[in-house]
Structure 1
Amino acid sequence: MRITTNAILRNYRSNLGTSMANLDTARNKVMTGRQFVSSAENPGSALRAATLERKYVKNLDYISTAQNTQSFLDSQEDAAMQISDLALTLSKQYGLEALNGTNADAETRKTYADAWRGAQESLLLSLNASYEGRYAFGGADAATPPFSLTTDANGKQILTYRGVNVDPDPNDPDYQKTMDTLKQLSEESVYLDLGFGLTVNDKTGEIDPSSAFNTSLPGINVAGYGKTADGTTKNMVLLAGQIADTLEKEPFDQAELEKLLNAFDDGRNNVLEQVTTLGTKSQFLTATKDRLETDKLNLTTQLDNVVNIDMADAITQYSWAQYAYNAALKVGTSIFSPSFIDFMK
């Protein structure tokens, strides 16, 4: 088999080009820290990396949402605790002391009445508490103050929740309609996707409650709405005003005050139940954040394995590629070995 000089040169140039390409690839890996720069270099790994990166970004969004939601829940819990603490002071201090026979004179009762009216304003402020422009107890509408307290022409206080009277008159023709509206408002939900596999019913368009996190706490679930069986309002804000009126009224009706105080105590117990519910939701949210942080760590590890290089191995490969390239250059100097032409004269 005859091997020509041109054949040797062609093979040499081809092999030298391969050595240069290998050296460039090894150099790029060391400089970028990545196993590949373009998807063409490793289509399989590039596809997996793109999938992992989407999951990673979505997970970061879940974590951010969970953190913001936790802050919002904290604002709800703080406001509910303020209402509970104030209600405890009103019930166990001002209420019991006003019922005490030694404090039954009109002047003393007037002082307690003023305290109840001041507390009524504080309750209203807590129910309209907001966090970063969102009202904590606004239900599905967190953009406007949920509660508004006014007085009608007869001097009767009227409290509305998102424009609906929370203590409608049973004699009103629209009483049942108003109560149905209040019930709907009390059941409102605001769902957030926190990575539970958000599911929406194709027919009804409703979100599956088990696939999302509900951040809504309608204020009427905290303060109460409607009336008891004996016709007493269940709303704590209105009760505070009625207790103040009873303390100022002459002759003093102790039985009426006791009835109102018992209703107020029931309302305070309801607030404590809401605080407990918020605490449970907060614990669940904390566990969710921990899970998301774990997912973030796992995704980071997987991305690192797919995209990034082992620097020690990359430097070793680069050194070997550099050695092979230098060797190829040295081989080039000996390609033109002496031929018959060199000995002709």
Structure 2
Amino acid sequence: MGFRITTNMMMNTYRYNLQGSTKKLSDARDMVLTQRNFNSYADDPAAATQEFRLRRDFYSTYSQLNNTKNVYSKYNTAWNNLQGIKTKLIDGTAIESVMRGTNDTTGEARRGLATTLRETSESLIYALNQKLGDQFIFAGNDGLNVPFEWKGEDLLYRGINVRAGSLVDKPETADPGLLDRVSDKANKQAAVPSTWTDDDEAWYNYLSGAQGAKAPEAGTRPDWVNDLMKEKGTTDGEKAWLSYYKDKDDYMKLKEMSGEELYIDLGMGVAEKSPNNPVNGSYFNGALCGIDFIDFGVDEDGDPKNLALLMREFADIFQAWDENMDPQGYNPDLAGPSAQGLTKEELEEKAWRLLDKFKDSREHCVEKWDELDAQAVFLVTNQERLETLLTDTNTQILDVFQVDLADAITSFSWQQYCYNAALKIGNQLLSQSLIDYMR
């Protein structure tokens, strides 16, 4: 008995084949429009995985390039700012005024030079308080708060007097034992008792004012030091020693702030030894600490190392010049705050003593400016490297997923031809049979 092929059977087969042609035509059209070899992970798992890794590298490099551009903008602004400070304020005004003021042949102009130096010191601080966008450039890793502030004749950096370490003399009264009590308590409460380290010893000797004790390394502050600074003191002796401890601790805070770091990934392979402890050399330090450029603290003579304060010290000396004296000379009664109480001879001696220190402070600032210039050059080189890497990575991505457009168009044309042919055959060959109508 023969098997009859009905029109419905032919229609079902035709519809199935037509749907296949439609799918192939749609895929070919998508390939031309997207110019991709695959549009899902299932199409080509190996290529899709490779593309994912390459795109991850691409976006990481893109982020590093943006970081580099942002940091360069900051460093370039800082470099131009420091160039203006060096050429116009220091070399153009301050050092000329200092040299003229220490020259006896121009003594009559000293009081005018005092005003110039005082205003120059203020201009220096204005320049170091400059902002880029919403961030203070020279504020270290605290760009939201103004770094420098004048408080009378005192200069503060983030709330700490830049003369810290010399503001409070060591008390003559016996040590009340606060230092021993706090440090012993911290040692006993430690997870492993008797863990007194070299850092603890260095801080103990430094805070106690032991003879020959040097300032500890930045970043080695034990927890018991923070506990000590919270003490209030109950007697005058304890309060005096706590003031002494705080002054020395403030100096260490300035030392720590001068070396602050702001970790930025610029494509050097950032890695960490432990949480928040990156490998040195794998990151870029984007912090610019203003106190590091103009220095802080005092020297063995009690003179400030800070460039702005040195200008103020000269101004206080030159202010004492009395044109009405016969002959003209220094009048101690006219001296500014930092020079009060000095004799005429001491004023003149101090002016000559500060001259060399001012030159050294100027050289320190210029050295920091040169370091900034070298870092800016690195940023330019790094930007070029990342741009090249970005281009190469993008080329690799295109090699993985991008289709040959000529082949894609040829395939699309063929699938369109097949689809049109299928439609034409269906119109010509398929029709309802009489038997189908009679069922």
Q: What TM-score do you get using the length of structure 2 for normalisation?
A: 0.68
Residue matched to 1:88: 91
Counterpart contact for 1:75–1:130, Cα < 8 Å: no
Residue matched to 1:207: 278
**How big is the shift at 1:328?**
5.2
Counterpart contact for 1:80–1:222, Cα < 8 Å: no
CA distance in 2, matches of 1:166, 1:22: 76
Counterpart contact for 1:150–1:159, Cα < 8 Å: yes
**How big is the shift at 1:4?**
8.2
Unpaired runs of at least 5, structure 2: 171-243, 321-329, 332-343, 431-439
CA distance in 2, matches of 1:243, 1:4: 117
Q: Is it true that 1:160 corresponds to 2:156 in the alignment?
A: yes
The worse-fitting range, judged by mean Cα deviation, of 158-167 and 20-29 is 20-29
**How big is the shift at 1:59?**
2.2
Q: Is it true that 1:242 corresponds to 2:313 in the alignment?
A: yes
**How big is the shift at 1:3?**
10
1:307-342 deviation digits (Å, cap 9, x = unpaired): 332211111111222334455567778989xxxxxx
The worse-fitting range, judged by mean Cα deviation, of 51-60 and 126-135 is 51-60
Counterpart contact for 2:296–2:306, Cα < 8 Å: yes
1:72-119 deviation digits (Å, cap 9, x = unpaired): 1122222222222211123542122222222112xx111111110110
Residue matched to 1:67: 69
Counterpart contact for 2:271–2:279, Cα < 8 Å: yes
Aligned pairs for 1:1-345 within 5 A? 17-85=19-87, 86-105=89-108, 108-151=109-152, 157-168=153-164, 169=166, 171=169, 173-174=244-245, 175-202=247-274, 205-249=276-320, 250-251=330-331, 253-326=347-420
CA distance in 2, matches of 1:5, 1:51: 54
CA distance in 1, matches of 2:415, 2:302: 91
The letter of the residue matching 2:91 is L
SS for the counterpart of 1:71 is: helix
Residue matched to 1:339: none
CA distance in 2, matches of 1:89, 1:329: 88
CA distance in 1, matches of 2:99, 2:279: 47
CA distance in 1, matches of 2:124, 2:264: 29
**How big is the shift at 1:13?**
6.3
1:126-157 deviation digits (Å, cap 9, x = unpaired): 12122112111111211111111223xxxxx2
| CA 1:90–1:25: 2 relative to 1, 3 Å | same
The letter of the residue matching 2:397 is L
The worse-fitting range, judged by mean Cα deviation, of 114-123 and 298-307 is 298-307
CA distance in 1, matches of 2:414, 2:15: 20
The letter of the residue matching 1:180 is M
Residue matched to 1:341: none
The letter of the residue matching 2:116 is A
The letter of the residue matching 1:303 is I
CA distance in 2, matches of 1:236, 1:185: 17
The letter of the residue matching 2:97 is Y
**How big is the shift at 1:15?**
5.3
**How big is the shift at 1:14?**
5.8
Percent identity, aligned pairs only, is: 31
Q: What TM-score do you get using the length of structure 1 for normalisation?
A: 0.85
